[in-house]
Chain A
Amino acid sequence: MDRAGGPDHELLSRLRKRDPELLASLVREHSRPLYRAARALGFSEPDAEDLVQEVFVTFLSSLDRFEGRSQLRTWLFGILHKKAMERRRAQAREGRHDPIDEVFEARFDAQGNWSAPPRDLGRLAEARQLLDAIQHCLERLPPSQRAVFVLREMEGFETKEICKITGVTVTNLGVLIFRARNRLRECLEERGWGKRK
C-alpha cells in the first residue's frame, strides 16, 4: 500500500468506496505514529487523538489530491503538520531572527575554538529525569523547530520527506534542525545535565 511509484488507481478506488478492510489496515498502520507525533508536538492526549482523527477524515475527503505519488506515510504526516500548525497558528509569528544563533556564536572565540565547551549530557541522567527534561525542553522549542525535530529524530523521516511534509527547503530545514538541536542542548545543560553529582 505504501508505495513511492505512480498513481495507485486500485488503492484510490478502494479508499473512495471506504473499503472497510483497507481503512482498518490504514488506521492500524498509521494512527500510532501520528498520535505520538501529535503528542510530541505538544498536544494533550485527547487533542492528539482528535487531531489524528481529523488527519484521516481530511485524507479521505481530499483523495483527489493524493495520487499515490508520495508515500502514504509522508502524505498523512503532511496533513498532521498542517493541522497542527493551523491549531497553533504560531508559525507566522516566528521571525527569521532566532536568539539561539547568538547563544551558539557566544560558545566560540574569534578563531572558532570553544570558549564555553559543552558538558557531557547523558552520563548522569536517570531514565525518568531524562524523559522529563527532554519533554520540558521540547515544549520550549518554537513550533517549526519542534516539528522538524519530531519528524527527524523521533520518527526517522529523511530530509526529502520532511521537506515535503513541512513545505520547507533543504537549506531552511538545516537551519531549523541546527536551531532545534542547539536550543535543546542549551536547555538540557541548564536543567543540570552534565553537572557532576
Chain B
Amino acid sequence: MITCKQVAEALSSGDVERRGVWERWRVRVHLWMCDSCSRFARQLRDIRQAGRRLRSAYDKEQRSGAGDSLEERILTKLEALPSEGETKQ
C-alpha cells in the first residue's frame, strides 16, 4: 500500500508521469480514496494556475509602458551593434 507521504513526494517532484503503469495506477487509486492527498494535489494545481495568472500579469505590465515598446528598444540596441565581420577587421 502506497503511503500519503510517498504520494505527496511523487506529486511534488512531478515524476508521476515518468513512473510505470502500476505505480501511476497506485497513485491514482490512492488519490481517489484519500481526501488529504487529493487536496494536496489540488494545492499543486492551484499553485500552477496562480503562476500562469502571474505570467499574464507580467505580459500586461509590459504592454502598458509609455513610448517605444520593449521590442523596439531592444532592436535599436541590437542594430547599433557591429556585425561579426566588422568586429573582426
Contact = CB atoms under 8 A, between A and B. Distances in A.
Contacts of B84: 16-17, 63
Interface string A92-112: 000000000000100110011
A149 interface: yes
Contacts of A120: 39, 42-43
Contacts of A16: 83-85
Given A118-B39, A119-B39, A108 B53 contact: no
Nearest to B9: A178
Which 8 A-B pairs give the minimum distances between C-beta atoms? A112-B3, A122-B46, A36-B58, A112-B5, A117-B36, A174-B13, A134-B50, A178-B13
A182 B12 contact: yes
A181 B36 contact: no
Interface residues of B, number: 47
Given A113-B3, A177-B14, A181-B12, A135 B54 contact: yes
B28 interface: no
Interface in A27-48: 27-28, 31-32, 35-36, 39-40, 45
Interface of A: 16-18, 20, 23-24, 27-28, 31-32, 35-36, 39-40, 45, 49, 52-53, 56-57, 60-61, 63, 104, 107-108, 111-114, 117-122, 125, 127, 130-131, 133-135, 138, 149-150, 152-155, 174-175, 177-178, 181-182, 184-185, 188
A131 B58 CA distance: 11
Contact of A188 (B37, B40, B47, B62): B47
Contact of B62 (A32, A63, A104, A127): A32
B29 interface: no
Nearest to B47: A184
B55 interface: yes
A130 B74 CA distance: 32
Contacts of A23: 75, 78-79
Contacts of A125: 46
24 contacts: A18-B79, A27-B78, A32-B59, A36-B58, A39-B58, A40-B54, A53-B77, A56-B78, A108-B3, A108-B8, A117-B36, A118-B36, A119-B43, A121-B47, A122-B42, A122-B43, A122-B50, A133-B50, A153-B47, A154-B55, A175-B13, A181-B12, A182-B12, A185-B44
Contact of A131 (B4, B53, B71, B79): B53
A120 B73 CA distance: 44
Interface majority SS (helix, strand, loop, mixed), chain A = helix
A36 B59 contact: yes
A152 B14 contact: yes
A21 to B, nearest CB: 11
